[in-house]
Chain A
Amino acid sequence: MRGVRRFVEDLLSRRRTKPFAVDAADESQIRTAIALRAAGPDAEPSDEFVSSLRERLRTELDDAPPVPEVREVRGSRRRFVLSIAAASAASAAVGVGAEMALSGSGGAVTAEPGDATVTPDNGEWRGIVAVKDLPDGAVRPFDVGSIVGFVHRSGDELNAVSGVCTHLGCKLALDGPARRLKCPCHSATFGVDGAVVQHRLPVALPPLPKLMVRESDGVVQVFVPPRQA
């Protein structure tokens, strides 16, 4: 009984309520007190609350979980992969992989910003795996220096996607059994076809860019930017 009275007193005094041991009789009184109070004042959020929560969310959402691996190389790697995305967004040529970025030779691929119909005109076909080593359903990572990615076969269809997360450019890891590509940085997950499977990011995440892929002379080849001179 005391607990209920204190609870009701808190409600009426607009204080935070406190936990206490509740029995069935208490429960219906509390529920009724809330129902009555719901028709009272304070039913609208205050402007102050709305703006302070907005600020709090701004701070919390901005602080992505720390990712040491990326932070260390952020200067070169992130900037670099973002610039790649300009090209990869529209064209099949994805650009240059993270390794080269780390060595500082960025900028291999350029595209007119905003041009959504870039077609790769200066690439080359590079063999990545023997056709016989890519049976139906298999997924293989590849790294041709300028590009990292994954190729997979389902039936007669070959598919190759970039192996770089479209969020901040971390290198994706293959989860073979699940046929998923996982980002170690913020846990985004892509299908082997490049589709976004899940992520916990407050932005819309683009799917992985696809690469042109073909079979030639018993070898699976992808179309990638040419090697740097």
Chain B
Amino acid sequence: MAGQKVWGRRKLDGGADSESDSVSVSVPAAAAVRLHVVTEDSYSDWEAVYNDNVGRVYRMMFAKVGNRPDAEDLTAEVFVTALRPLQLSASVGEVRAYLSATVRTVLAAYWRRTLGREITRLEEDWALTEPVTDTGDGGDSGAVARAEAILAELPERYRRILQLRFIGSCSLKEAAKELGVTVGNAKVLQHRALRQAAAVAERMEV
């Protein structure tokens, strides 16, 4: 019955004891219908909100923190924070704007409590409504383009070590072998390369 889709009533409907049963029987169809008025541009329940946006929120967080466990923690924080007060009567656009705002807040709070500086931020004009390129093999095109722009400014060996390590996910050992140097050299090369890449990136920001 319709009532089962109502999140807040799930426990009541799903319960096996007699008390719950009698509740579910009396969940009024009229009220249920009102809870389920779904236009084309709104979500039917929190799960629909989640399914439609979890990928976007994760990709966004990943682009801003650069690793999976942190991105997962923050994605979870966004949904835990956002879903409870969410008004499902809001349109898809409003829900996404609201999620974007939550992403922005959660990210800012994360940097504040970890490194004490706002390392990355969600640009004001960024919204979850932006088209997301699903390439299948992952990655959002903006992040790739940006990384490539930074790498393009570097000397060949610096570019190679960063490509191997950051994008190709090679171990230090594998990268060293690829470049024909010792592990120690590869390590030093990586540090220098990153320092120079940071200088390049800073120049590009200005």
A-B complex is real: yes
Which residues of A come within 8 Å of B, CB atoms? 5, 8, 10-12, 14-22, 25, 27-46, 49-50, 53-54, 56-57, 60-62, 64, 74-75, 78-79, 82-83, 85-87, 89-90, 111, 113-116, 166-168, 199-204, 206
Q: Is A57 a contact partner of B147 (Cβ separation < 8 A)?
A: no
Known: A28-B198, A111-B28. 15 other contacts (CB 8 A): A21-B116, A27-B119, A31-B120, A39-B139, A45-B54, A45-B55, A45-B72, A46-B68, A56-B80, A61-B46, A62-B11, A75-B19, A86-B28, A89-B30, A114-B33
B43-87 CB contacts (< 8 Å) to partner A? 45-47, 50-51, 54-55, 58-59, 62-73, 75-76, 79-80, 83-87
Knowing A29-B198, A44-B59, say if A86 contacts B84 (CB, 8 Å).
no
- B194 is an interface residue with CB less than 8 A from chain A: yes
Q: How far is the CA of A39 from the CA of B8 in the complex (A)?
A: 40
Pair count A-B, CB < 8 A: 236
From A11, A22, A61, B83 is in contact (CB under 8 Å) with: A61
Find B147's partner among A18, A35, A42, A79 (CB 8 Å cutoff).
Answer: A35
- Number of B residues near A (Cβ < 8 Å) is 84
A37–B8 touching, CB < 8 Å: no
CB pair A32 B59 closer than 8 Å = no
Give the most central of B88, B148, B151: most A CB within 10 Å. B88
Q: Looking at the complex, which one of B26, B29, B65 makes contact with A79 (CB distance below 8 Å)?
A: B26
Nearest Cβ on chain B to A60's Cβ, whole angstroms = 6
> Most chain-B Cβ atoms within 10 A of its Cβ — which of A8, A10, A32?
A32
Q: Which 3 A/B pairs are nearest by Cβ-Cβ distance?
A: A86-B28, A39-B147, A37-B66
Chain B residues touching A, majority SS: helix
The interface residues of chain B lying within 8 Å CB-to-CB of A18 are 114
Q: In whole angstroms, what is the CA distance A178 to B160 when docked? A: 65
Residues in B129-175 with C-beta less than 8 Å from chain A: 138-140, 143-144, 146-148, 150-151, 162, 165-169
Q: Do residues A17 and B67 form an inter-chain contact, with CB atoms below 8 A?
A: yes
Bound-state Cα–Cα, A8 to B165, Å? 10
**Which residues from chain B contact A22 at a C-beta distance below 8 Å?**
115-117, 119
Q: When A38-B62, A44-B59 are in contact, do A16 and B70 touch as well, CB less than 8 Å?
A: yes
Contact at A204–B194, with CB atoms within 8 Å? Answer: no
Do B65 and A200 have beta carbons less than 8 Å apart? no
8 contacts between A and B (CB under 8 A): A32-B150, A38-B62, A39-B143, A42-B67, A53-B79, A54-B50, A113-B28, A204-B88
The answer to the question of B16 belonging to the interface, with a C-beta cut-off of 8 Å to chain A, is: no
Complex CA gap A85/B6 in Å reads 15
B58 to chain A, nearest CB (A): 4
| Partner of A115 from B7, B23, B30, B165 at Cβ < 8 Å | B30
- The distance from the CB of A120 to the nearest CB of chain B, in whole angstroms, is 14
Query: B40 an interface residue at 8 Å Cβ cutoff?
Result: no
Does B125 lie at the interface of the complex (its beta carbon under 8 Å from any beta carbon of A)?
Answer: no
Q: B139 touching A43 by the CB < 8 A rule? A: yes
Closest to B145 in A: A39
CA distance A8 to B65 in the complex (A): 11
* Known contacts A49-B72, A57-B50, A115-B30; A34 and B64 CB within 8 A of each other: yes
Closest to B46 in A: A202
Determine whether the beta carbon of A32 is less than 8 Å from that of B88: no
Closest to A45 in B: B58
User: A30 to B167, alpha carbons, bound, how many Å?
Assistant: 15
Residues of A within 8 A of B7 (CB): 61-62, 202-203
| B45 neighbours in A (Cβ, 8 Å) | 203
A82 touches which of B28, B63, B68, B169 (Cβ 8 Å): B28
Could you tell me which residues of chain B, from 21 to 49, have a CB within 8 Å of some CB in chain A?
A: 22-23, 26-31, 33-35, 37, 45-47
- Interface residue B177 (Cβ < 8 Å from any Cβ of A): no
The reply to whether A11 and B67 form a contact with Cβ atoms under 8 Å apart is: yes
Report the separation of the CA atoms of residues A207 and B194 in the bound assembly, to the nearest whole angstrom: 58
How far is A211 from B6 in the complex, measured between Cα atoms in Å?
Answer: 26
Q: Is the CB of A86 within 8 A of B50?
A: no
From A118, which residue of chain B is reached at the shortest CB distance?
B30
